[in-house]
Structure 1
Amino acid sequence: MKHQLFLLDLDDTLLDFRASERLAFTRTLGGLGVTRVPDALFTDYQAINLDLWRRFEQGLVAKDVLKVARFRLTFERHGLDLDAERASLLYLDGLADSVVLIEGALQTCAELAAIGEVGIITNGIEAIQHRRIHSAGLAGHVAFVATSEACGHAKPDVRFFEFAAAKARAFDKASTVIVGDRLDADILGANRFGIDSCWFNPHGLANETEARPTCEIDRLAQLLPALRESRG
């Protein structure tokens, strides 16, 4: 097989982040004494959180600011007198254990590890992502984890991919592929770094961006066949 190094995104590629996020958010609010979490509150949190992460990826906001600001802004919007810093601590602790696997994630990682080396690349928080990987049962198949927090740069910055490549036992651009759900971070990053990419697109979204994946799948079970077909 052409590919020997598989760089896999974590959230919404291997782990269902939306499901995990909802569980962790509900538990966080419960820890602050809020027994019923309105849908509008969670929806606003998601929008605020997404905006802050996009700004982080552009280098416009620090991660330590992001962790607390997403709760502070959400609480302010809904007129809630709650401690944003405590919410941040509760959420991060809860997120590490609120893992939901994407269908086929465990089997896919095992199959790829039998072929070559598997690395996880994520813009998430170092300690939390390691805990989530262990909680999900993926750690035994993963050779290394590269996070934006440890690197100091986030996907799609080429420096992040250089950081990830340096963690591999052996790195060759021609035999490396990135698998991820985000065109703007995973696929565009692969394009800029000069390596193959597979777009995990379970919702059948249209690609209206400059990012150009080598192949595209809507289920993880399709990954190996797609990579074999794209061997060039």
Structure 2
Amino acid sequence: MKHTLFLFDLDDTLLDFKASEQRSFALTLGELGMRGDIDALFADYQAINLALWKSFESGAVSKDFLKVERFRKAFAQHGLDLDPEAASRLYLESLSNTVVLIDGAVRLCATLAAIGEVGIITNGVEHIQKRRIASSGLGEHISFVATSEACGHAKPDSRFFAYTTAMARAFASHETIIVGDRLDADILGANRFGIESCWFNPDRLANASAAVPTCEVHTLHDVVPALRSLAAA
């Protein structure tokens, strides 16, 4: 295998953030005293959250603003008299207790850590992401965690990847690969920084973007064979 530095996105690549998000949202609303069906509220929250994350990644809003604004907008849209700041705090606290692993995540990280160095690259909240990694059982295989919060720049900004690779024991562009699910953040970031990428695409989505992955996999079990194929090419 030619790669010795493996940079993994965290949410929806190693951890099933969608499952964790839904559980945490339900727990948060329960703590705030809301009962009954919250499916419509959750769907609207997800859409608002996605739009705000895109704004954050473009530098238009801060992460502190995003964390509260997503709840404020969702509650306002549904006419709910609930405290968005309390919701934000409860939700973030619960995320580390609702960790769900993507199938094959621990084995993959253990395998690659025996070959080289595994790092996490995430636009998530630093102390929450580190707690989630600790809860997941992945921590012993992870060398470092690079967050946009600590860096000051978010994926796909090349400054984030320069910050990330400076944390590694050693960095050579031709020996580094990013594995992630997001074309607009992980794969495009890799393209801009001049390193290879592996698109984790479990839903087999079409790539209609400008991002060009070096390879594509549909399960985490496919990652090691794909990387070996790149080495043999």
Q: Give your verdict on TM over 0.5.
A: yes
Distance 2:99 2:36 in 1: 22
Residue number in structure 1 paired with 2:5:
5
Supply the AA of the counterpart residue of 1:165. Answer: T
User: Which TM-score applies when normalising by structure 1?
Assistant: 0.99
- Report sequence identity in percent: 66
Q: CA RMSD in A?
A: 0.6
Matched, 1:158 2:158: yes
How many residues were matched structurally? 232
Residue number in structure 2 paired with 1:33:
33
Distance 1:38 1:17 in 2: 18
Distance 2:45 2:95 in 1: 15
Distance 1:4 1:202 in 2: 24
Distance 2:59 2:160 in 1: 13
The CA deviation string for residues 189-219 of structure 1, in whole angstroms up to 9 with x for no partner, is 0000000100000000001111111100000
Secondary structure, in 3 states, of the residue corresponding to 1:115? Answer: coil
Contact conserved, 1:26 with 1:37, CA < 8 A, in 2? Answer: no
The CA deviation string for residues 113-139 of structure 1, in whole angstroms up to 9 with x for no partner, is 011000000000000000000011100
Distance 1:211 1:85 in 2: 36
Runs of 4 or more consecutive aligned structure 1 residues displaced over 4 Å after TM superposition = none
User: Which TM-score applies when normalising by structure 2?
Assistant: 0.99
Secondary structure, in 3 states, of the residue corresponding to 2:114? Answer: helix
Distance 1:21 1:107 in 2: 23
Distance 1:160 1:207 in 2: 24
Secondary structure, in 3 states, of the residue corresponding to 2:82? Answer: coil
User: What is the Cα deviation at residue 36 of structure 1?
Assistant: 2.3
Distance 1:85 1:223 in 2: 40
Residue number in structure 2 paired with 1:174:
174
Distance 1:2 1:193 in 2: 18
User: What is the Cα deviation at residue 74 of structure 1?
Assistant: 0.3
Contact conserved, 1:182 with 1:199, CA < 8 A, in 2? Answer: yes
Supply the AA of the counterpart residue of 1:50. Answer: L
Residue number in structure 2 paired with 1:200:
200
Residue number in structure 2 paired with 1:128:
128
Where structure 1 has 5 or more consecutive residues not aligned to the other structure, the ranges are none
Matched, 1:70 2:90: no
Residue number in structure 1 paired with 2:22:
22
Matched, 1:102 2:102: yes
